[in-house]
Amino acid sequence: MNYFPEEVLEHVFDFLTSHRDRNAVSLVCKSWYSVERFSREKVFIGNCYAVNPERLIARFPRVRSLTLKGKPHFADFNLVPHDWGGYVYPWIEAMAKSGINLEELRLKRMVVSDESLELLAKSFPNFKSLVLVSCEGFTTDGLAAIASNCRFLRELDLQENEVDDRKGQWLSCFPDTCTSLVSLNFACLKGEVNVAALERLVARCRNLRSLRLNHAVPLDALQKILVQAPQLNDLGTGSFLHDPDSEAYCKLKNAIKKCKSIRSLSGFLDVNTRCLPAVYPICTNLTSLNLSYAPGIYSSELIKLICHCKKLERLWILDTIGDKGLGVVASTCKELQELRVFPSDLYDGVGNAAVTEEGLVAISAGCPKLNSLLYFCQQMTNAALITVAKNCPNFIRFRLCTLDPTIPDAVTNQPLDEGFGAIVQSCKGLKRLSVSGLLTDQVFLYIGMYAEQLEMLSIAFAGDSDKGMLYVLNGCKKLKKLEIRDSPFGNVALLADVGKYETMRSLWMSSCEVTYGACKTLAEKMPRLNVEIINEGEQIEASPDDRHRVEKMYLYRTLVGPRRDAPEFVWTL
Amino acid sequence: MEGCRQFLDLIPKEREWPVKRAEETSHGLSEEKKLELRLGPPGDDDWTIKHNNNSSQTTSRARDHESLLSFGYFSNSPCAQNPVLKSPWQQQTNPHFLHLPVKKESPHPSSNRAELHNSEKKAFSPAAPANTAVPNSSSAHKRTAPAPVVGWPPIRSFRKNLASGSSSKLASESGDVVQNKVSGQKPVDNGPKTLFVKINMDGIPIGRKVDLKAYNSYEKLSYAVDELFRGLLAAQSDSSARGIKDDEAGGKATGRLLDANGEYTLVYEDNEGDRMLVGDVPWHMFVSTVKRLRVLKSSELPTLYRGSKQGKLYLDASSRK
């Protein structure tokens, strides 16, 4: 293809933003591969062990933005031992040594040490954006290093990380010359912050658009901050507790009214419901609302608030809202695209507050644009799911989680196979699916038959036999991630099509029926897979019996062979 | 409600689904199962009919399981050979069940499971034939869902800690108390002045809340908890089966929760979601990790946890701060 000079090709490729498109383009021919690799600035690595830093740097020397994901998804639910891996340090070290001009780093489920953060802060003079999701291993000292050294920092976004709060003054470490912040999210931090320093920081960062505070920032500080930053688009309140009859509260109400640009609201980590009306004025323009960190707000209050939110596109909420509340959402939020309903009270056995299939059906009837769902519910029925499938054929993500993982249809006591079958049949664009409830092999037959675009599937306590897993492996051509726990799938299913795993990012199987022998066989046949066995706490035998069941297996495709940082209890076969 | 009406109308009379075939197979299967599972408790026919909900002809596996298990408490139990263990906090009429929940991040996951299976087998000797009936499952069949299950429901620990609701600043009931505290305060605080945690007791449907910062030792806590529930217990039952009440004819609390021979035992749930015996760690450490408390009937615990260990605790409690 010598039609165009390279500069033209590069210019054309500039319009390709998705990494999948760029990957495709680089496969066309050698010259396209070459042009593409020198012009790629954003690199996405879905599994940090699939490649290594050296290969990244060799192929994409001009990388400026790196996204890395580490631990398998089930690590979020305590199924992966603490020091399994996923360290970011080697990546930062390698890029620093090679003079990469790193500007943005986005990490998910990785272990980030303070040393990594310090090295990051000192090695990349143009560093602008740090996004950490569900990471761990660092303290506020590391944040202090970032604040002190990154002169052009625009974004510091910490989402649901486990941070050791040293109660230091990391916020005060932003120098007075720092005026570049656009986005600051420290909602997950547990400790105190220097509120005065925060107020000054907000005052001087005139481009600040997104600010999410932690619970330690009290309401009167919020008021002062909002006065300084009425241009905010996205606000996460800290503590929302005050005497609603006080002057401070009154000032807050006025301050909020002036924030006409707020489109996204979250926080309310500690809340006095009588203070909620202060936000009503901004509700009319909200497109995103996250009240899922506020178990203290009762259904009636939630309903009152939501009645104002007619333009809502994204809603994250707790099941305290109840079916009735969801009915109100359905009749109010006609633009709703994404709904997540989280469980509020986990330990009382039968939840007092909970949602059922009724709420979901109501939502599906009222919100035809719904395309993404995460729904924790007390019970479900096939009839409801069939109705939902009819009402909302546009689902891209459908994750249903019954609080009792093997509960049958609440009315007929049948498995929920038919319901989920209806979903996959109707939603032709479905990319992500999580199933729960009583399920037989039948549901997997449906998934294999209909879920042609499915990329990620999560299975727990489901199926009867190897057939279930086989239906999925044979049928879902675009499958990238499969994670299974506590299901009776074994060696026959695992070994039926070993080549399939190279087309996928990863497979997780825990508490299933696969044995050591089968895993070894698989590892032998497929040298470009890492087949990891995680032995938690069991005696580490030198050579376990092949017939022994494997408790946890995680396999993934890789270009770089077994990883060298695996801990003792992880064996790569 | 509008939505509900639509819902009912939209249930198709004849399914568009290749459902008939599926129904037949499952029907066939469950027929087979029904026959085999009838080797269960006496009066089997009556059981299935009694617990039939809507479907008249289809006898689902689930319902058979339910009938088997109905002499226990469970309502929605799906599996025959591995009955769903609901939270042990609920009333259980079948004492053979494993009472300790599967701990999260248990160091011996497979041994836990083995324990479960053994106890289930003991409890369900009439159901033993059912084990062989279900196709393709070994006795190590993992479809049990004992509650609480490790990692279920699947939410991040960040949310779990919120949901357990021991934050002292939640002002959902009446904001007044907290407001008075907050409005006069400077922004920087040394930490919350109260730590209210929920406390429930076996046999009492309504829980209470205690402020752990009001105590500085296990003994004091034990007395306080005793007092809290004594009244409720007295009001609720006239039976002499309640150990604590027996002794308190005069209404004096004796704090027997940490006692070796007490009829009740105090346990707690920590910040990792694990259920722990109260009294093992120093008081301040306990306070920093406790999320909620529970008063259990001691008979429900394995003997390992009764007797000498607790006795020692009680004696040592006074030396802990």
DSSP sequence for A259-285: -TT--EEE--SEE-GGGGGGGHHHHTT
What the block records as the tokens of A395 is 């689902």
Q: Which residue of B has its CA nearest to A399?
A: B154
Over B202-261, what HEC string results? CCEEEEEEEEHHHCCCHHHHHHHHHHHHHHHHHHHCCCCCCHHHHHCCCCCCCCHHHCCC
> What is the pLDDT at residue A457?
97
Contact call for A347 and B164, based on CB within 8 A: yes
> What is the pLDDT at residue B214?
77
Would you give the DSSP letter of residue A314?
E
Contact call for B153 and A487, based on CB within 8 A: no
- Break chain B down into helix, strand, coil percent, rounded to 5: 45, 10, 45
Q: Cα dist. A111→A72, A141, A143, B34 in Å?
A: 13, 15, 14, 51
Would you give the DSSP letter of residue B149?
P
Closest CB from A241, A406, A538 relative to B78: A406
Query: For residue A275, which residues of chain B lie inside 8 Å, CB to CB?
Result: 175
> What is the pLDDT at residue A540?
56
Distance from C-alpha of A415 to C-alpha of A438, rounded to nearest angstrom: 5
The yes-or-no verdict on residue B113 having pLDDT over 70 is: no
Sheet strands (E) in A114-164: 129-133, 136-139, 155-159, 162-164
Please tell me the distance in Å from B252's CA to the nearest CA on chain A.
30
Sign, CA torsion A506/A511/A513/A517: positive
Contact call for B7 and A298, based on CB within 8 A: no
> What is the pLDDT at residue A570?
86
What the block records as the tokens of A37 is 């690799």
> What is the pLDDT at residue A240?
86
Q: Which residue of A has its CA nearest to B182?
A: A242
Q: Cα dist. B19→A149, A379, A393, B55, B192 in Å?
A: 63, 22, 20, 15, 58
Q: Which residue of B has its CA nearest to A295?
A: B163
What 3-state class would DSSP assign to A248?
helix
Q: What is the mean pLDDT of residues B233-257?
A: 49
For residue B276, the surrounding DSSP H or E stretch is strand B275-277
> What is the pLDDT at residue B235?
65
User: Whose CA is closest to A382, among B200, B210, B26, B205?
Assistant: B26
Query: For residue A162, which residues of chain B lie inside 8 Å, CB to CB?
Result: 157-158
Please tell me the distance in Å from B153's CA to the nearest CA on chain A.
6
Highest mean pLDDT (candidates A491-505, B194-208, B241-255): A491-505
> What is the pLDDT at residue B269?
86
In a mutational test of the B interface, the residue from A74, A78, A192 whose CB has the highest number of chain B CBs within 10 Å is A78
Q: Hey, what amino acid is at A352?
A: N
Q: B112 Cβ partners below 8 Å, 6+ apart? A: B102, B103, B106
Contact A271, A244 (CB under 8 A): no
Please tell me the distance in Å from B216's CA to the nearest CA on chain A.
24
Sheet holding B290-297, edge to edge: B204-211, B196-201, B290-297, B264-270, B275-277
- Please name the residue ranges forming H helices in A41-125: 53-59, 89-97, 114-123
The yes-or-no verdict on residue B11 having pLDDT over 60 is: no
Query: For residue B178, which residues of chain A lie inside 8 Å, CB to CB?
Result: 241, 272
- Determine how many CB atoms are found less than 10 A away from the CB of residue A192: 20
Please tell me the distance in Å from B246's CA to the nearest CA on chain A.
29
Q: Which residue of B has its CA nearest to A79?
A: B151
Query: For residue A465, which residues of chain B lie inside 8 Å, CB to CB?
Result: 135-136
Number of H helices, E strands in chain A: 20, 25
Contact A338, A315 (CB under 8 A): yes
Distance from C-alpha of B224 to C-alpha of B217, rounded to nearest angstrom: 11
Highest mean pLDDT (candidates A362-366, B9-13, B212-216): A362-366
Please tell me the distance in Å from B318's CA to the nearest CA on chain A.
31
> What is the pLDDT at residue B34?
43
Contact call for B76 and A358, based on CB within 8 A: no
User: Whose CA is closest to A353, among A341, A336, A338, A366?
Assistant: A341
The string of DSSP letters for A403-459 reads SSTT---TTT---SHHHHHHHHHH-TT--EEE--SS--HHHHHHHHHH-TT--EEEE
Q: Tell me the pLDDT of chain A (573 aa) as tens digits.
A: 567 788 888 898 989 988 899 999 999 999 899 989 999 999 999 999 999 999 999 999 999 999 999 999 999 998 999 889 999 999 999 999 999 999 999 999 999 999 999 999 999 999 999 999 999 999 999 999 999 999 999 999 999 999 988 877 899 999 999 999 999 999 999 888 999 999 999 999 999 999 999 988 988 899 999 999 999 999 999 888 888 888 888 999 999 999 999 999 999 988 888 889 999 999 999 999 999 988 878 888 999 999 999 999 999 999 999 999 999 999 999 999 999 999 987 655 444 668 999 999 999 999 999 999 999 999 999 999 999 999 999 999 999 999 999 999 999 999 999 999 999 999 999 999 999 999 999 999 999 999 999 999 999 999 999 999 999 999 999 999 999 999 999 999 999 999 999 999 999 999 999 999 999 999 999 999 999 999 876 555 666 788 889 999 999 999 999 999 998 888 888
Mean pLDDT of chain B: 53
The number of C-alpha atoms within 13 Å of B84 and in the hemisphere containing its C-beta is 29
Q: Which residue of A has its CA nearest to B134?
A: A464
The yes-or-no verdict on residue B167 having pLDDT over 50 is: no
Contact call for A464 and B136, based on CB within 8 A: yes
Please tell me the distance in Å from A221's CA to the nearest CA on chain B.
8
pTM of the model: 0.69
The yes-or-no verdict on residue B47 having pLDDT over 90 is: no
Place of tokens 């009222």: A366
Contact B259, B244 (CB under 8 A): no
Counting one residue from chain A and one from chain B, the pairs whose CB atoms sit within 8 A come to 256
Q: Hey, what amino acid is at A359?
A: G
Query: For residue B106, which residues of chain A lie inside 8 Å, CB to CB?
Result: 537
Closest CB from B104, B171, B269 relative to A272: B171
Contact B79, A461 (CB under 8 A): no
The yes-or-no verdict on residue B3 having pLDDT over 60 is: no
Please tell me the distance in Å from A175's CA to the nearest CA on chain B.
21
Query: For residue A551, which residues of chain B lie inside 8 Å, CB to CB?
Result: 109-110
Distance from C-alpha of B49 to C-alpha of B56, rounded to nearest angstrom: 9
Residue range B52-108, pLDDT digits in tens: 444 444 444 444 444 433 343 333 434 444 433 344 333 434 433 333 333 443 344
Contact call for A405 and B165, based on CB within 8 A: no
Contact A66, A43 (CB under 8 A): yes
Query: For residue A194, which residues of chain B lie inside 8 Å, CB to CB?
Result: 188
Highest mean pLDDT (candidates B93-102, B220-229, B238-247): B220-229
> What is the pLDDT at residue A347?
56
Query: For residue A271, which residues of chain B lie inside 8 Å, CB to CB?
Result: 170-172
Closest CB from B78, B165, B182 relative to A295: B165
> What is the pLDDT at residue B190?
39
Contact call for A244 and B175, based on CB within 8 A: yes
Q: Hey, what amino acid is at A403?
A: L
Query: For residue B152, which residues of chain A lie inside 8 Å, CB to CB?
Result: 77, 405, 460
Contact A414, A437 (CB under 8 A): no
Contact call for A442 and B3, based on CB within 8 A: no
> What is the pLDDT at residue A203?
95
Closest CB from A387, A403, A536 relative to B107: A536
